[in-house]
Structure formats: structure tokens, C-alpha cells
Amino acid sequence: MTGPQSARRASELVERGIPFVQATVVRAQCPTSARPGDSAVVLADGTIEGFVGGQCAEGSVRTASLPLLDSGEALLLRVLPDGGPQDDGGFPESEGALTVVNPCLSGGAIEVFLEPKLPAARIAIIGNTPIAASLELLAGLLGFTVTRSIDEPEFGASVAVLIASHGRDEETLIRRALDGGVGFVGLVASAIRGEAVVDSLGLDPEAKAVVHTPVGVDIGAKTAEEIALSILADVVRSIRLEGLRPPKPTPVERPVTARDPVCGMEVTVVDDTPNLTVDGEHFWFCNPGCRTRYAEEAAAV
């Protein structure tokens, strides 16, 4: 996949809200088939679209990429041959970088930047008020996907539900958000009224802790815009410091991994992974060469 093709494919996946990892070769030391600028996308089921090297290098990229869809953190992957610079301390382990030894490489090495591309967190806003309008504007500027409604709101997989309806159906909306697994429910209300609304629901302590009222960080806000700023600061703080995440969608079944019995590489098992059954036991390999070698050794026993 060329640079423009990769960019178009990545844009398509982002638009459709499909999570993936963008893999880009940033360094290649010959002999290797990959070149700087080669790129691919890695999907949650292990599918790789594009080119980042031969079968073994591709396998290393796949195995390193899939956990990033959970962590959301970028990673520099160094794929080195046996006896590579890591043996003499040339590539010490460091935060944000991973060095793996790939015995399949023909003396070359590559470095691949792996960047997870996850759908923007969604915030559902309910209300036809100046505060609701300000929340919609500011949340969009902060990079959130925003839905705003008055009647029959859809919460979906929202990271937060913010209720600025000024007394309209607040109890019903809170209950619906909690039943949907939303981890942050913000109610715009005075301290006295907010407490009365929450108490009327008879929530257990765990559910009660999810409802924030009066919602917002205390910055002395007075205008609708300032109140919206304080509310979104509360949401961002919960995401960045407390690990707030949206309800998990139906999980994509991730491929399992196995250890190549010949070279010792960790292999992600997908449809085209070389494999072999010997004496009723199944084995997976990083490439056909390891499979052939194992079959020959097994036949000689």
C-alpha cells in the first residue's frame, strides 16, 4: 500500500469509526524488503492491509499492534535480527519503544511506528438551554463526538451523558444512562436540587458515584460558556486521571498467539499463519521455512 493509498484507507476507517493501528516504517537497515515510508493498517481481527516487510516482520508488527487498541498508546517497534544491536546495549528498552528479535530477518532491521487510531470519545448532551448549546460547541472543539437532543436521546457508547434540561425528565434520563453502562452522568442543577433528584432514585453507592451533581470543576463559573467549560473540565479530568472509558461495545474476537517451536517467535494466529499437526498436537510458525524445518525434524525422529 503506497502512502496515498494508506492515507485514503486510514481516512475511510476513521470516518466509519473503526479502530485500527497505523504502522509506518521509519527506518530500514538492509538487507530488508521494507523501505522507509512503507505503511499498513492493522485491524482488530489481525488483518493487515499494506506492506511493512516480509512475513516475519509483518507478524511482529501484527503481534505488537493488537494490544495498542486497548492501551491507546503509540509505540516504536524495533525488529532486529539475531545478534542485533540490542545484544550490546545499542537499543536499550525504553518507555514507548519495544525491541524484538526476529530470527527470520536476513541480517537487516526495521523500525516501525505504531499509532493506534481509535474513534473519538462520544458525549451525549440533553437539553435546549444555553448551557447545553455551549457544551455542544466546546465539546466539539475538544475533539469529542457530540450528540445533542431534547427528546428520545440516544446514549449509545457515550463516555459521558450531560443533562442540562432544567428539570425535564431528569430522573428518567439518569436511570437510562446508568442502565446503559455510562460511567459519567453529569446533572446541571443546584446542589440542593441535584441532591434531591439523586436521592429520589434510591441508587446504591456505586451507581450514585457515577452521577455528578452539581457537575463541573469549581472555577467560579457564572456564564453559560464558563459553566460548560467547568463541566467539560470535569469530564476530561475523569478521562485523563481516573481512567473513565465508554461502555465497551460487543468485543471483536482478537486472534490468539502461539510460540513458534523452531525460532521461538511469538506468532499471532490468523487464517494464513503457517501451521502443522504432529502426533495430534497443533503448532503455528512465523513462516513456511520454520514449518518445513519442524516437519523434517519430526519425520526424522
Q: What is the rounded CA–CA span in Å between residue 274 and residue 285?
A: 5
Domain presence at residue 209: yes
Q: What is the rounded CA–CA span in Å between residue 290 and residue 297?
A: 11
Domain presence at residue 252: no
User: Is the domain of 113 the same as that of 137?
Assistant: no
Report which DSSP code applies to 252: P
Find the domain containing 200 and state its range.
Answer: 122-242
CB contact set of 212 (below 8 Å; sequence gap of 6+) = 184, 185, 186, 187, 234
How many domains does the chain fold into? 3
Which residue type, as a one-letter code, is found at position 267?
Answer: V
What pTM did the predictor assign?
A: 0.67
User: Is the domain of 81 the same as that of 174?
Assistant: no
User: Is the domain of 267 the same as that of 221?
Assistant: no
Q: Are 270 and 66 in contact (CB under 8 A)?
A: no
Which residue type, as a one-letter code, is found at position 29?
Answer: Q
Instruction: List pLDDT tens digits, range 4-30.
Output: 777 788 889 888 888 999 999 999 888
Instruction: List pLDDT tens digits, range 172-225.
Output: 999 999 998 999 999 999 999 999 999 999 999 999 999 999 999 999 999 999
User: Is the domain of 112 the same as that of 138?
Assistant: no
User: Is the domain of 132 the same as that of 181?
Assistant: yes
Q: Which of 78, 99, 117 is the last residue of a domain?
A: 117
Q: Which of 67, 86, 117 is the last residue of a domain?
A: 117
User: Is the domain of 83 the same as that of 133?
Assistant: no
Instruction: List pLDDT tens digits, range 54-113.
Output: 888 888 999 999 999 988 899 999 988 865 554 444 555 677 899 988 776 566 789 999
Q: What is the rounded CA–CA span in Å between residue 89 and residue 99?
A: 11
User: Is the domain of 146 the same as that of 215?
Assistant: yes
Check which CATH number belongs to the domain holding 138 and give it. 3.40.50.720
